[in-house]
Amino acid sequence: DGGITQSPKYLFRKEGQNVTLSCEQNLNHDAMYWYRQDPGQGLRLIYYSQIVNDFQKGDIAEGYSVSREKKESFPLTVTSAQKNPTAFYLCASSPDSLTGELFFGEGSRLTVL
């Protein structure tokens, strides 16, 4: 089935460690996005990419990094510079920028111990 796969679903990390969240899609979508979700704050955009080898910062990019080497993949690295990384992370893709419709993965919950 076509869709977006995020892994791992749950992840624990010690302070000072970098961690990479995987996002893979087989929908042939050009655009991909990473959002962070915290209770009571809705979704905040971290990074987005509209084409391979190109990406832009969203509203809260500090402490995060991404790459887009393949159309299907958009991994997110949470670095040790991110001061409050415990959150639910959502990856999404979009067939084109005109519709504004997003398709989401099931999310990855990161907990810093």
Partner 1 sequence: GNSVTQMEGPVTLSEEAFLTINCTYTATGYPSLFWYVQYPGEGLQLLLKATKADDKGSNKGFEATYRKETTSFHLEKGSVQVSDSAVYFCALSRGRDDKIIFGKGTRLHILP
Q: Of 82, 92, 104, 87, whose CA–CA distance to 10 is shortest? A: 87
> Binding of partner 1 at residue 50 (CB under 8 A)?
yes
Site string for partner 1, 54-73 (x = CB under 8 A): ----x---------------
Among 46, 66, 102, 112, binds partner 1 (CB under 8 A): 102
Say if CB 18 and CB 35 are below 8 A apart.
no
CA distance 69 to 113: 31
- Please identify which residue in 15, 16, 84, 98 interacts with partner 1, judged by CB under 8 A: 98
Identity of residue 47: Y
Residue of 41, 54, 83, 113 that binds partner 1 (CB under 8 A): 41
Residue entry with tokens 């679903």? 9
Cα–Cα distance measured from residue 71 to residue 30, given in angstroms and rounded to the nearest whole number: 7
40 binds partner 1 per the rule CB under 8 A? yes
Q: List contacts with partner 1 (CB under 8 A).
A: 4, 6, 40-43, 45, 48, 50, 58, 90, 92, 97-107
